Amino acid sequence: MITVGIETSCDETAAAVVSDGKVLSSEVSSSVDLHSSYGGVVPEIASRFHSEYILQVFRKALDKADIGAGDIDLVSVTQGPGLPGSLLVGISFAKALSYSSGAEILGIDHVHAHLFSGFTDGMPPEDEPFTGMVVSGGHTSLFLCRSVEDIRETGRTRDDAVGEAYDKVAKILGLGYPGGPVVERMAGKSDGKDRIGFPRPLLGRDSGLDFSFSGIKTAVLYYWRDCPRSEKDLIDICFSFQEAVLDVIIEKLKRAVRSSGTGNIVIGGGVVNNGPLRRKLRAFCEAEGINLFMPDKQYCTDNAAMVALLGERLYRKGERSDLAINAEPSGLTGGRR
């Protein structure tokens, strides 16, 4: 079975080819540089970029996989959540492709696709549940997954997503966009002492599995306003901010695993690029005897391989969309998925 994935929910234009769970190609073209001077994604610029590049990204994915449009069985496309104009470019392209090639079409939830990106090298057995977490620029959520069709959100951020907090902190500190990589780099220059001790929100016993990151960002704002703003201050802030955020992520994951009793964790999303997060997660899972499924770095940020992989699994379970499929900017909560 040949599945083509199409992803245009934010600032990455992506296409991929997957065959029976194996990624044959995964192409991504990003408009991130066009947004950097604005400190965040400008929706209008993002959708115009998708419109300009989608065909060439798709062609490249087909060429690398050495297939033609007539070989495609399924077009799996991100339906939401995401920027409406950006989603519509990918969906319209997928519809035209499905109509002209005769392939089936299936709309995919972007956050669920991130969740399954950790399974590019295989999954736990069908009947084994897993605890999932997505930490990206737009989402921070915990899930209990019993199967590909049974994904239940057990906690979510009440305000900023983790990646969004990185981006906002970078903006406050004048470090540019996207914030994650540059804040990680600055934190890496630290001697490893958490000198500031930013708050770790919602870690009280009754706080459940929800998150809140806007308080840490505000604490950074005030600290930066009142300090001498030396290079050392910058490094200390980045390190202490990152420590606070990672402490919260690991602690909530611990609680989620304990409450669900699952022996598997899968984590996805752009923030999983973060080296210290990857190291802390490995250490935690090794100590607790938990299987950890984590995407390779190329599959952490937005890509179409994850969309094709999830689409193929759902298609095999009988899921289908039709050519009336439309963008669902808030996610597929009320719809097919």
Q: Which does 27 bind (CB under 5 to 8 A by kind): ligand KG4, Zn ion, none?
A: none
Tell me the two tokens of residue 125. 């057995």
Strands (E), the chain: 2-7, 12-19, 22-30, 74-80, 104-109, 130-135, 140-147, 150-156, 264-268, 291-293
Q: Kindly state the smallest distance separating residue 333's Cβ from ligand KG4, in Å.
A: 17
- Site map for ligand KG4, 134-153, x if CB under 6 A? --xxx---------------
Q: Kindly state the smallest distance separating residue 117's Cβ from ligand KG4, in Å.
A: 9
Q: Does 166 bind ligand KG4 (CB under 6 A)?
A: yes
Q: Which does 90 bind (CB under 5 to 8 A by kind): Zn ion, ligand KG4, none?
A: none
Q: Does 302 bind Zn ion (CB under 5 A)?
A: yes
Q: Kindly state the smallest distance separating residue 28's Cβ from ligand KG4, in Å.
A: 10
Tell me the two tokens of residue 141. 């959520």
Give burial (CB, 10 Å; 0-12/13-18/19+) of 84. Answer: middle
Neighbouring C-beta atoms of residue 283, cutoff 10 Å? 11
Question: What is the DSSP annotation of 53-83?
Answer: HHHHHHHHHHHHHT--GGG--EEEEEEESS-
Answer for which of 5, 90, 155, 178 binds ligand KG4 (CB under 6 A) is 178
Q: Kindly state the smallest distance separating residue 72's Cβ from ligand KG4, in Å.
A: 25
**C-beta of 62 vs 138, nearer to ligand KG4:** 138
**C-beta of 107 vs 178, nearer to ligand KG4:** 178
**C-beta of 168 vs 255, nearer to Zn ion:** 168
| Contact range with ligand KG4 by CB under 6 A, out of 53-61, 164-172, 195-203, 249-257 | 164-172
Q: Does 136 bind Zn ion (CB under 5 A)?
A: yes
Q: Which does 180 bind (CB under 5 to 8 A by kind): Zn ion, ligand KG4, none?
A: ligand KG4
Q: Does 53 bind ligand KG4 (CB under 6 A)?
A: no
**Residue listed under structure tokens 């937005």:** 302
How many chain residues bind Zn ion (CB under 5 A)? 2
Q: Kindly state the smallest distance separating residue 136's Cβ from Zn ion, in Å.
A: 4
Strands (E), 197-273: 264-268
**211: helix, coil or strand?**
strand
Sign of CA dihedral 12, 139, 329, 309: positive
Residues 167-201: b if buried by 16+ CB within 10 A, e if exposed: bbbbbbbebebbbbebbbebbeebeeeeebebebb
Looking at residue 149, what DSSP letter applies? T
Q: Does 303 bind Zn ion (CB under 5 A)?
A: no
Answer for which of 4, 10, 88, 91 binds ligand KG4 (CB under 6 A) is 10
Q: Does 51 bind ligand KG4 (CB under 6 A)?
A: no
| Contact range with ligand KG4 by CB under 6 A, out of 116-124, 179-187, 191-199, 324-332 | 179-187
Give burial (CB, 10 Å; 0-12/13-18/19+) of 150. Answer: exposed
Alpha-carbon span 183 to 170, nearest angstrom: 7
Q: Which residues bind Zn ion (CB under 5 A)?
A: 136, 302
Which residues make up the interface to ligand KG4 (CB under 6 A)? 10, 136-138, 163-164, 166-167, 178-181, 184, 269-271, 273-274, 301-302
